[in-house]
Amino acid sequence: MAIKTTSIAQGGDGGRAVAEEKKGFRLNVFTGLIVGVLGYLFGHWMGNAIAGGYQQVVGSGQNDVAILLGFIFGTIGWFLGLGILNYPIQKMAGIEPPAEKYEYEPGVMKYFRYTLDNKVVGIQYLFGMLFYFFTAGLLAMGIRTELLSPTNHIWGPATYLEIVGEHGTMMMMMMTSVVMGPFGNYLVPLMIGSKRVAFPRLEAAAFWFTPAAYIILLSALWQGGFQSGWTGYAPLSIQQGVGQDAYLFSFALLGFSMITSSINMTATIINYRAPGMRWSRLPMIAWGMITVAFTMLLSVPILIDGLYVMGLDRSVQTAMLYAGHGGSSFLWENLFWFFGHPEVYLLALPGFGLTMEILPVFARKPLFGYRTAVAGMVGVAVLSFFVWQHHLFQSGMNPDMRPLFMLTTELISIPTGFIYLVGLGTLWRARMRFDVPMLFMLAVFFNFLFGGITGVYVSDVPVNVTVHGSYFVMAHFHYTIMGQLIFAVMGAIYYYSPLYFGIKLNEKWGKIHFWTMFVSFNSTFLPLFVLGLLGMPRRVFEYAARLQHLNQWVTISSYVLGLSLTFFVITFVWQLAVTRPKSPLNPWQSRGLEWQVGYPIPPGNFDKIPVILSGPYEYGDPNALPVADLKPVEPSAVGVSSGGEI
C-alpha cells in the first residue's frame, strides 16, 4: 500500500500555535475553572430537582444523580471556558471559524491555554503527568506509613482504603498517558518527518480532560472517598457513597482522553510519514505509540461502557451489576478486566518503545532484530485481548476456561521475550556509554525481568491459588509499571531535556537520583513478593505480627524512594528554571531525526518535508547515509514519493 504523503497534506499551519484570533483577553485555565464550577452547580441543582427522590439516605444530600450531572455539566463548562468547544460549535452553527493564524507566543502563559501546537501540548502533558504522579506517590507514602505497624493505626480503616483507592486509581488511569502525552505528541511528528499532527484539536482536548479527571478524582476525598480500590468491584462499588461517583466519572473522562489522543496518534503515524519513512524505518517510539493507540481504541470503550453501567446502577438504581436482582457481579469483573488487562500492557508497551529507542544510542549499535522488536510489540498488543480472565481464576466464573487463559497468558511471555532478545542483542559487543539515560534503560530491563518472570508464577493456576490477591501480585505489577514504565520515563526526561528545553541535566545529580531510585525501588518491592508468599493479602490495614519487620523495611525503603524522587523534582526544576545548563546540540550523538532540526525546534518542525534516507539506528556503519535529507530539492525528483510503502 502506498500512501501518498504529498507536501499538500503536510502544508498549512494546522500544527502550529494558533491563536483563535482574539487580541487582549483569551480564554485560559482560569476561565475554564470558573465556567466549570458554574456548570457543576447547575448540574447539581438540576440533579436534585429531577431526582430528589433517589437519595441514597433520605435527607442526606447524597444524591448520585445530582453529583453525576454536576460532573457532566462541570466538565462541559470546563471545556467551554477553555474555548475547546468554540470550533465545533461554530462549525455546527454554520459559521466559518476564524482562520488559524500562527503566532509565536513567548512566555509560559501558552501552557495554561488550549493550544493546537503539539509541542506545547507535549510540555503540558509532561508537567501534568509529573504532577499527577507525585500526588499519587504522596498517597503511597500514606499507605506505607499505615503499614509500619500491624496494629497501631494512623489512618483507621476507612481513610486507609480511601488512600489506597485514590493512589491506585490515580496511577492506573493517569500513567496510561505518561508516554503518549509528553513524548508521543511531541516527538512522533518530529520523528516521522511531519510538520504537524493529524488532529491537533483532539490532541489538545485529550490533555484538557486530564486536569478535570484529576480534580474530580481527588474531590472524592471530600465526599467520603471510595473504598473499592481501583478495580471497583460491584456490588461493593454500588454500596459506596458518592465518592464512588467521582471514581467512575474521572476514570471515564480519562478514557475519553485516551481515545481522543489515540485517534490522533494512529492517524498521524499512518498518514503523516515523510517520504521514505517506511514502516521498516519507523522509530521504536512510534511503534510503541501506534500499538498502544490501537490497544486503547479497542479496549477503552469497554471500560467506559462498564463505568456507565455502574453509574446507572448507582444513580437511577438499575441492577445490572447486582446479584439477586437480575444482574450479576461477574458482569463488572468481565467488563473491567477486558479493559484492565490490555491496559496493563498499554502501560508496558510505551516503556519498551522508549527503551528500544534510547538503548542503541548509548550502545552505539543498531537495534538488534528490528522486526523481532516490532513483532514483539504487535504480539503483546494482540494477545493482551485474550487473557483478561487470568485476574479471575479463583472467582468461580467460567472455571473450565482456566487452562485456556493460562495458555494465552503464558503465551504473552513469548513476544515479551522478543524484547529481551532485542535488548541483549543490542548490548552484544556494544560500546556502551553509561550516561544517565542509559542507566535508566538498563534498569528497565533489570526491573521488568522480575515483573515478567513473576508473571509466569501468577499465571500458573495452582500457584495463583496461593498468590492471587496477595502482595505477590502487588509486587508483580509494580515491577512492571513502576520498575519499567516509570524508569523508562525518567530516563527519557534526562534524554530529551536538551531537545525540549535546551538544557542538559547535571550528570552527577542524575546519577545520584538514578542510584538512589534504583536501589530503593528494589528494596521496596522485592520484599513484597516474600510478604505475599507468606500470606499477606492486599489492601489490608492489619496484618500478621510476624510480618512486621519486613513491612517496616519496605516502608523505610519507600521513604527513601520518595526522597529520591523529590531530589529529582528539585534538581530538575532548579536546572530548568534557574541555572539552565546549556546543552550542545544533540549531546548524545543520536541519529534520530528529532535531533537533526536544532534547538529551539522551529515552529513547523521542518522548513520542508524531509526525505528519509535510512533507518534511525545505523550506528557503527561508517557508510550509513544520514537519516534524512532535510533540504530536499524536490521530493519527487529523488524518486521516493511513496513514503508509506510497507
Q: Which does 160 bind (CB under 5 to 8 A by kind): Cu ion, another protein, ligand HEM, none?
A: another protein
Measure the CA–CA gap between 69 and 621, rounded to whole angstroms.
61
Contact with another protein (CB under 8 A): which of 4, 431, 580, 582?
431
Q: Please, what is the minimum distance in Å from the beta carbon of residue 459 to Cu ion?
A: 9
Nearest by Cα to 147 from 548, 557, 561: 548
Q: Please, what is the minimum distance in Å from the beta carbon of residue 395 to another protein?
A: 4
Extract the C-alpha cell encoding 515.
542510584
Does 529 bind another protein (CB under 8 A)? Our answer is no
Nearer residue to ligand HEM within complex by CB, 76 or 347:
347
How remote is the C-alpha of 136 from its chain's centroid?
14
CA-only gyration radius of the chain, Å: 25
Residue nearest to ligand HEM (CB): 455
Residues 341-370 that bind Cu ion (CB under 5 A): 341
Does 409 bind ligand HEM (CB under 6 A)? Our answer is yes
Site string for another protein, 407-426 (x = CB under 8 A): x--xx-xx--xx-xx--xx-
Contact with ligand HEM (CB under 6 A): which of 372, 416, 520, 596?
416
Extract the C-alpha cell encoding 602.
522551529
Q: Which does 500 bind (CB under 5 to 8 A by kind): ligand HEM, another protein, Cu ion, none?
A: none
Measure the CA–CA gap between 391 and 401, rounded to whole angstroms.
12
Measure the CA–CA gap between 209 and 177, rounded to whole angstroms.
11
Does 348 bind ligand HEM (CB under 6 A)? Our answer is yes
Nearer residue to another protein within complex by CB, 511 or 538:
538
Site string for ligand HEM, 477-516 (x = CB under 6 A): x--xx-----------------------------------
Count the residues of the shown chain that bind Cu ion, applying the rule CB under 5 A.
Answer: 1
Measure the CA–CA gap between 74 and 71, rounded to whole angstroms.
5
Angle among Cα 542, 547, 549 to the nearest 5 degrees reads 115
Measure the CA–CA gap between 420 and 449, rounded to whole angstroms.
9
Of 126-134, 273-281, 517-525, 613-621: span binding another protein (CB under 8 A): 613-621
Nearest by Cα to 346 from 391, 392, 299: 299
Does 470 bind another protein (CB under 8 A)? Our answer is yes
Q: Which does 96 bind (CB under 5 to 8 A by kind): another protein, Cu ion, ligand HEM, none?
A: none
- Sign (positive/negative) of CA torsion 25, 29, 33, 39? positive
Measure the CA–CA gap between 551 and 482, rounded to whole angstroms.
19
Does 253 bind another protein (CB under 8 A)? Our answer is no
Q: Please, what is the minimum distance in Å from the beta carbon of residue 230 to ligand HEM?
A: 6
Contact with another protein (CB under 8 A): which of 54, 133, 541, 568?
541
Residue identified by cell 458518592 is 242
Nearer residue to ligand HEM within complex by CB, 416 or 571:
416
Residues 372-401 that bind ligand HEM (CB under 6 A): 390-391
H helices of 196-322, in order, are 200-219, 236-239, 243-271, 284-315
Residues 452-481 that bind ligand HEM (CB under 6 A): 452, 455-456, 458-459, 464, 468, 473, 476-477, 480-481
Question: How many Cβ atoms are within 10 Å of 202's Cβ, its own excluded?
Answer: 18
Measure the CA–CA gap between 303 and 295, rounded to whole angstroms.
13
Contact with another protein (CB under 8 A): which of 54, 71, 208, 368?
368
Measure the CA–CA gap between 150 and 493, rounded to whole angstroms.
38
Nearer residue to Cu ion within complex by CB, 257 or 389:
389
Of 345-353, 462-470, 593-601, 628-636: span binding another protein (CB under 8 A): 462-470
Question: What are the CA-CA distances from residue 99 to residues 92, 145, 272, 394, 563 (Å)?
Answer: 16, 55, 22, 58, 49
Could you say which DSSP state residue 637 is in? Answer: G
Residues 47-76 that bind another protein (CB under 8 A): none
Residues 325-354 that bind another protein (CB under 8 A): 328-330
Question: What are the CA-CA distances from residue 277 to residues 179, 349, 357 (Å)?
Answer: 22, 22, 16
Q: Which does 477 bind (CB under 5 to 8 A by kind): Cu ion, another protein, ligand HEM, none?
A: ligand HEM
Q: Please, what is the minimum distance in Å from the beta carbon of residue 231 to ligand HEM?
A: 5
Which phi and psi (to 5°) does residue 631 adopt?
A: -125, 60
Question: How many Cβ atoms are within 10 Å of 598's Cβ, its own excluded?
Answer: 11
Residues that bind Cu ion (CB under 5 A): 341
Residues that bind ligand HEM (CB under 6 A): 231, 344-345, 347-348, 390-391, 409, 412-413, 416, 451-452, 455-456, 458-459, 464, 468, 473, 476-477, 480-481
